Structure formats: C-alpha cells, structure tokens
Amino acid sequence: MNASRISFFCIVALALLAGCDDGLKKQEVGTLSWTPQRFEYPKIQIGSSADDTVVLENIGAGMVKLANWRVTGASAGDFDLYWYRGTDPSVEQSFGIVDGQDFFNTIDLESGGVITLVLNYHPSADETAPGAIEFETNDAENRTVRIPIETLASGAEIRCTPSDVDFERVQAGSTKTKSVTCQNTGSAVAIVSDVQLQPADGDFHLTIGGVDPAEDPSVLNDLDGDGQPGLAPNGRFTFDVEYAPTVDGPDSGEVRIFSNARVEQVVVSLKANGASPCINVNPESLDFGPALVGRPNPRAVTIESCGGEPLTILDIKIVDETGTFALDENTVPALPANLPGYDPNDPQQPAPPSRSITVNFSPTDEVAYGAKLLIKGNDPQYRAADNEDFDYIEVPLLGRGTINECPTAAVAQAEFDVLPLDIVTLDGGASTDADGPDGRPVTYTWTVVSRPPGSTAQPVERFFNPARPADGGPADRTDTPTAFFFVDLVGEYHLELTVTDNLDATAPSELCQQPAAEVIIRAEPNEDIHVQLVWHTPGDPDETDGEGSDIDLHLLHPQGRAWSVAPLDCYFANSEPDWGPLGPPANPSLDIDDVNGAGPENINLDDPEDTNALGGFYRVGVHYFRAENFVGGGTWGPSVVTLRIFLGGMLAGEWEREMRATDHFWEVASIIWSAADRRAQEINRYHNRVP
C-alpha cells in the first residue's frame, strides 16, 4: 500500500471518530459518562483475584464510538479486561484485553446505551504499580478517557500537618493566622476538588496563596505549582487560616479537603479560646415521648466543661406549672459546683469533665406536658447584658402521658455449639408486645456481653462478602429481629437481646423487668492443630475500623528452612499450601488474613505428619508486616500480640509479647506431633527482621 492510500485511510478513520467531515453534513455526537471514576482493589494475595466494574453510559443525543483500548502501567499484566452491554451481570461477557492480547473492535454506543467494564485483578507480586484503562472516543469533551486503577499499594494519599490547629486565646477584635501544609504521600496524582471551611460564616477565614477557594476555585487546579493538574506524588501545598473573633468565648471549626485520594475527605480541626470556662449541655432539648402514667420516667442531662479553665455551675432549676417534671435531688450537686478545665491533648482526659443530672417525668393523665430546665454557668458566652451575671441555658422538657404494656424479649434458640469461624443466626422473632403493632416490638438490639479475649466480632445485618465473614458487614438493623454473628475465636460468647416497643418501653429494664434474653455460643475446634493470633495496638483508637496494624501468622513445615518462602510456610501469601504426602492430606490453611488491626488470624491443620519421622517440629511465627498509618501518618506503634495453640481442641499453650515495629518477627513455639507425644513447646526468639 503506498503512502497516499495510507493517508487517505487515516483521514477517513479520523472523520469516523469525529462524527463529521468538511464535505459532509455534521452529525450529532453523543456524550460519555462513567461511574465510578476508578477501579479500586483491596490487598489481594498472590494467586487470588478480584473483579471491579465501571459502567459507561452515552448520555448524549448521538452515537459514541469507543476505540483503541489499552491497559497502561508497569503492572498491566496483572489485569484482564472484559465487557458486556447493559448492567445485568448474568449477560455473557466479551473478551477485551486478556493475557495482554487485544480482542477489542470499535464499540458503537447509541444514545442511552450502557456497557459494563469488568476488570479482573490477579497480582503477581506483593506490590502493584498504579495504572489505568485508556481508550479514545469521538466525544469532543472526552477524546481520551483514562480510568485509573488503584490497589492497596497505589493511589493518592493526602496528609496535613498539623491535623489539629489550636489558636489558643485570642481576644475579641484581634486576629491570629496559622498555616497548615498538606502533602500527597501516595504514588498517584491527587485531584483536589474542593477545600471547604466549616462553618463558612464563622470567625475563621481560609486562603490558599491569598485566595479564598470558595470565591475562586481555580486556585485548586495546580496546588503544587508544577504546571500540571492536581497534586503530584510528594507534592505539597499550604493554606492559611485567620481567626478574628468578634466576641470572647471558645470557637471551633473544620477545614475539609475533598479529593480522589483513598481517603476522599481529609479533615483539619480548628479551635480557639479554649482557655476560658465553657459549658455544653446535652441534649439541647429533652423529649420523654410517650411515658407511662403514674410512674417516674427518668432521663439524663449532661453538663460538660469544654474550656481550658474550670467551669462553675451556678444554678440548676426547673420551671414547671404542672408539677410533672422534677429534678432527682440525689443527682444534683451542691451549688456552686466546679468542673475541671478540659485539655483535649491530655491523654489523662479522654473526654470533657462532666456531671450528669436526672430529670423525672411523672405524668398523671394521658395528655401532653411541657416545662423548662434552666442551667447557669460562668461561660463568657452567656454573659448577661449587665455584665455582672450570666444568663441561663434553657433546655425544653416535653412529654406525653400514656398507658402501655411492656414488651417481652425472647430468643428462638438460646444455645449453640459450633466450630470457630462458623456463622450463627441470632433470632429474636419470638419477642412479643401485647399492645404493639402486629403484637411485636419495634426495635431489637443485640449486645455482646462477654467473649473470648481478642474477639472483635459484632452482630451484623449481613456480611459484605459472605465468603469472607471476617471482613464484617453493616451494623445490625434494629428494626429486624435477626442478625448474623461470626464466631471468630475459640471460646464462649454471651449475647443479650433487648426490645423496645412503639412507646419507647424497653425490656428487660428497670421499668420492664424480666429475665435476660440470652444467647450462649460455645466454639471448640475440631482440627488436630488450631493456631490462633490476636493483637492489641494501643496507638490505634478504633481497632474495628478499616485502618490499623497488619500482623501475620506463620506455620512452618518441619522440613521448612526459611520463613515467608513457599511452599513450606503457610501464611497470607501461601494460604493453602500443598504439604501432603499420599494418604491423609496434612495440608494447613490460613482461614483469616486480617490486615487492619486486632485480628484474629487462624491456621488449621488436620492429620499432621509424624514429627519424629520428619526429624523436626512444626514451628509457629508472627510477623509485624506493617505498622505504618497510611491515613493519619507515622505508625500505629507497638502491638501486644497473643498467640494460642490448640491441639485436639484443647489449649496447649498461650504466649504474649510486644512487637515493636514493621518487619519484626517472633518465633513463638514449636509443635511436636507423634503417636506418643503431642504438645506445644515455647521457642520465644525475637528478631528485628524475618529470619
């Protein structure tokens, strides 16, 4: 083919993508949109895989053509791309880019048309570089579409220092300015879509380079000044906050940074004038709702000292013409009463100093009642007009008298004997309420009363992934009588059910007395060897959320010579190794890999081989895989690790040790297994790296 013919075909191809030609009537071109904006994957073991989807839709009037598909990035070989029309996952998928081979032709997407992209991630290494799915279209606004691929080892991360800004004491009419520096500590470009000050109309004022982003959002386009959109990896920007109070008294606010980073909203807290007396009253109004006639119905009100100087409570009283509301005098302190000042940076003060008082509502008739609780303190915010006294804080009191029968809490099954890692269905459907809607309570609350040390399981409405119940699920809905409970450790669990009727009467309670509606779960292993790991990290304030330290459990075969080397070490990257000779399998399995704090992790092994015949013992180790805090910065710090070994269902050994930092390794114990001798024997060797 000669050069002139090649040029001709190139011109024709460009004209088809553009949807027009100088000599032809211009055609309408569609508009492409897609959601979500990127593919995201959690930590995935080598040898496993996961899918994520992005839906493309033509929201314009004309045709959108999609062509020249590719997977970019250093780890492109870890991804296969498939697609199908519509959003029904049962539709047969077409090959896109599989094993590096491109099966795509140009896709025509008519107006209103939808296709779903399915990207399969199968990592070949512990670290996966960031990448993207890219293709061209004839949409003038989206000539080249780039959909980022983010894994646990890639993506943008924005961290701001300091994350808490304290202006301390600033007099009314004065000003003080403080600066905060934010850095992209991730491996991908962060696109900052908004920087907001909350409240927007308070005494704080936010600028970036002297510009208020609320007035000129273009200041966000190139925050690090490198000439490219977004905040590059390691890129920084600084914002200034000016505080100019018009009156004395504590102030607080937040700067919220919205971006495409893994944590989509970073919050920097602001506070000022904390070194003066400050009073908070919770709740701001007290609504008793329907309350039983002829009985006192108690509710609590909390007075908090929220400032840096001590708070003096000067007076507490109720104004009530009906006489149905009254203070419980046993809860009212002798006045004046003092509460210490509050320093949120003091670890000895996890919460503001407070005093709780009780208000009793005792209706005599089935009618509505109202009154006021009045509280006076020496907070300057409530300085009276004469400047010599303080105004009262008013807390409205509301309630209505009613005649009501108590509900009754009951469980369908009170005892369970299960294996560790089983799922138990908690069922409170046997509960009743004689005068309630349909004869049933309106809420059901399951509470874990006691559990084995280290267990973190909670009742959930469902599991995010039924195949991985250790990942948890959404909190149990109280409007349904059932919940699911993942039995994460060996031992005994006690859970209780409380129910509430449509008039807020709860059973069991002091008002509605009945025996506890209890469920007892006993979990015992049936494997020959069951190894259990849990840990506690004091530097992690919430060990049940999605962020935390990552500590890994290892079981080494007697003939294994090195940790973290397959196939003779069973751990997260080799969770189901093949150790078995002919006959019994003798293969272990890591059933839980917890990556965000507390555990548990379990390894089970049935039909172990005779350690005398093998000339060595099974060995158990613990590896501090990751102490870094990717969200808050720094590290989670040391973790106190507890390891238990069960042989034939009986506890054979339990050990505890503090592990200090990333990559530290603890060889805990060996397991001897023969016909005449089955026991766990302590090793207790600690290393600063994997031996």
Looking at per-residue pLDDT, the higher value among 281 and 174 belongs to 281
150, 183, 198 - which closes a domain: 150
Residue type, 228: Q
Closest to 151 in 3D by CA, of 248, 67, 78 = 78
What's the rounded mean pLDDT across residues 605-625?
Answer: 93
Question: Quick one: DSSP state of residue 28?
Answer: P
- Which pLDDT does position 27 carry in this prediction? 61
Asked if residue 376 is part of any domain, the answer here is: yes
Identify the domain containing residue 127 by its residue range: 27-150
Q: How many CB atoms lie under 10 A from the CB of residue 133?
A: 24
Query: What is d(CA 612, CA 404) in angstroms, rounded to the nearest whole number?
Result: 71
- How does residue 441 score in pLDDT terms, banded at 50, 70 and 90? very high
Query: What CATH number should be reported for the domain holding residue 650?
Result: 2.60.60
Looking at per-residue pLDDT, the higher value among 42 and 343 belongs to 343
Query: Lowest-confidence range among 144-148, 576-580, 622-626?
Result: 576-580
**The total number of structural domains that make up the chain:** 5
Q: Strand 337-339 to strand 311-319: parallel, antiparallel, or no bridges (unpaired)?
A: antiparallel
- Which pLDDT does position 17 carry in this prediction? 44
- Which pLDDT does position 420 carry in this prediction? 86
Asked if residue 6 is part of any domain, the answer here is: no
- Asked if 120 and 202 sit in the same domain, the reply is no
- Asked if 653 and 534 sit in the same domain, the reply is yes
What's the rounded mean pLDDT across residues 249-263?
Answer: 87
Q: Which two tokens stand for residue 628?
A: 């870094």
Q: Residue 196, CB half-sphere, CA atoms under 13 Å: how many? A: 11
Query: What is d(CA 355, CA 334) in angstroms, rounded to the nearest whole number?
Result: 12
Q: Which two tokens stand for residue 263?
A: 């944590």
What's the rounded mean pLDDT across residues 160-179?
Answer: 85
Asked if residue 585 is part of any domain, the answer here is: yes
Query: What is d(CA 665, CA 682) in angstroms, rounded to the nearest whole number?
Result: 15
Q: In this structure, are residues 563 and 578 in contact, taking their beta carbons and an 8 Å threshold?
A: no
* Residue 204: partners with Cβ closer than 8 Å, 6 or more residues away: 197, 241, 242, 243, 251, 253, 270
- Which pLDDT does position 9 carry in this prediction? 38
* In the predicted structure, residue 583 carries a pLDDT above the cut 60: no
- Asked if 372 and 469 sit in the same domain, the reply is no
Find how far residue 655's CA is from the centre of its chain: 30
Looking at per-residue pLDDT, the higher value among 465 and 602 belongs to 602
The residue written with tokens 């005494």 in the block is: 203
Mean pLDDT of the chain: 88
- Asked if 518 and 536 sit in the same domain, the reply is no
Helix, strand, coil share of the chain (percent; to 5): 5, 45, 50
- Asked if 181 and 267 sit in the same domain, the reply is yes
Query: What is d(CA 343, CA 274) in angstroms, rounded to the nearest whole number?
Result: 8
Residue 574: its H or E element: none
Query: What CATH number should be reported for the domain holding residue 462?
Result: 2.60.40.10
Closest to 575 in 3D by CA, of 43, 41, 42, 47 = 47
- Which pLDDT does position 650 carry in this prediction? 87
- Asked if 177 and 225 sit in the same domain, the reply is yes
State residue 613 phi and psi, 5-degree precision.
Answer: -70, -30
- Which pLDDT does position 323 carry in this prediction? 93
State residue 297 phi and psi, 5-degree precision.
Answer: -115, 105
- Asked if 553 and 668 sit in the same domain, the reply is yes
* In the predicted structure, residue 380 carries a pLDDT above the cut 60: yes
Closest to 481 in 3D by CA, of 434, 539, 425, 545 = 425
Q: Which two tokens stand for residue 593?
A: 């890999």
Asked if residue 5 is part of any domain, the answer here is: no
- Which pLDDT does position 21 carry in this prediction? 41
% pLDDT > 70, the chain: 93
Q: Strand 64-72 to strand 107-109: parallel, antiparallel, or no bridges (unpaired)?
A: antiparallel
- Asked if 264 and 293 sit in the same domain, the reply is no
Tell me the torsion sign for CA atoms 350, 351, 352, 354.
Answer: negative
What's the rounded mean pLDDT across residues 357-382?
Answer: 93
Asked if residue 599 is part of any domain, the answer here is: yes
What's the rounded mean pLDDT across residues 496-509?
Answer: 91
The residue written with tokens 């982003």 in the block is: 213
- C-alpha angle 576-582-585 in degrees, rounded to nearest 5: 35
* In the predicted structure, residue 158 carries a pLDDT above the cut 50: yes
Beta bridge partner(s), residue 380? none
What's the rounded mean pLDDT across residues 626-652?
Answer: 89
- Which pLDDT does position 4 carry in this prediction? 38
What's the rounded mean pLDDT across residues 580-606?
Answer: 79
- Asked if 507 and 491 sit in the same domain, the reply is yes
- Asked if 146 and 164 sit in the same domain, the reply is no
- Asked if 212 and 138 sit in the same domain, the reply is no
Asked if residue 167 is part of any domain, the answer here is: yes
User: Residues 626-636: pLDDT tens digits?
Assistant: 999 877 788 99
- Which pLDDT does position 244 carry in this prediction? 93
- C-alpha angle 86-88-93 in degrees, rounded to nearest 5: 75
* In the predicted structure, residue 131 carries a pLDDT above the cut 70: yes
Q: Strand 32-35 to strand 79-85: parallel, antiparallel, or no bridges (unpaired)?
A: unpaired
523, 555, 583 - which closes a domain: 523
* In the predicted structure, residue 673 carries a pLDDT above the cut 60: yes
User: Residues 267-325: pLDDT tens digits?
Assistant: 999 988 767 788 899 999 999 988 888 888 899 999 999 888 899 999 999 999 999 99
Task: Encode 43-68: b = buried (16+ Cβ within 10 Å), e = exposed.
Answer: bbbeeeeeebbbebbbebebbbbbbe
Burial category of 683 from C-beta neighbours within 10 Å (exposed 0-12, middle 13-18, buried 19 and up): middle
Asked if residue 19 is part of any domain, the answer here is: no
- Asked if 374 and 423 sit in the same domain, the reply is no
Closest to 251 in 3D by CA, of 312, 205, 203 = 203
pTM reported for the whole predicted model: 0.42
Query: What is d(CA 35, CA 56) in angstroms, rounded to the nearest whole number?
Result: 7
Looking at per-residue pLDDT, the higher value among 299 and 455 belongs to 299
User: Residues 80-98: pLDDT tens digits?
Assistant: 999 999 999 889 999 999 9
- Which pLDDT does position 138 carry in this prediction? 93
Q: Which two tokens stand for residue 599?
A: 């555990």
Query: What is d(CA 623, CA 639) in angstroms, rounded to the nearest whole number?
Result: 11
Asked if residue 616 is part of any domain, the answer here is: yes
What count of residues does the chain have?
691
- Which pLDDT does position 582 carry in this prediction? 54
- Which pLDDT does position 248 carry in this prediction? 59
3-state SS assignment for residue 16: helix
* In the predicted structure, residue 410 carries a pLDDT above the cut 70: yes
* In the predicted structure, residue 653 carries a pLDDT above the cut 90: yes
User: Residues 19-71: pLDDT tens digits?
Assistant: 444 333 446 889 999 999 999 887 677 888 889 999 999 999 999 999 999 99
272, 300, 324 - which closes a domain: 272
* Residue 560: partners with Cβ closer than 8 Å, 6 or more residues away: 568, 569, 619
Q: In this structure, are residues 402 and 504 in contact, taking their beta carbons and an 8 Å threshold?
A: no
What's the rounded mean pLDDT across residues 444-462?
Answer: 92
Query: What is d(CA 618, CA 604) in angstroms, rounded to the nearest whole number?
Result: 12
- Which pLDDT does position 127 carry in this prediction? 67
Looking at per-residue pLDDT, the higher value among 24 and 540 belongs to 540
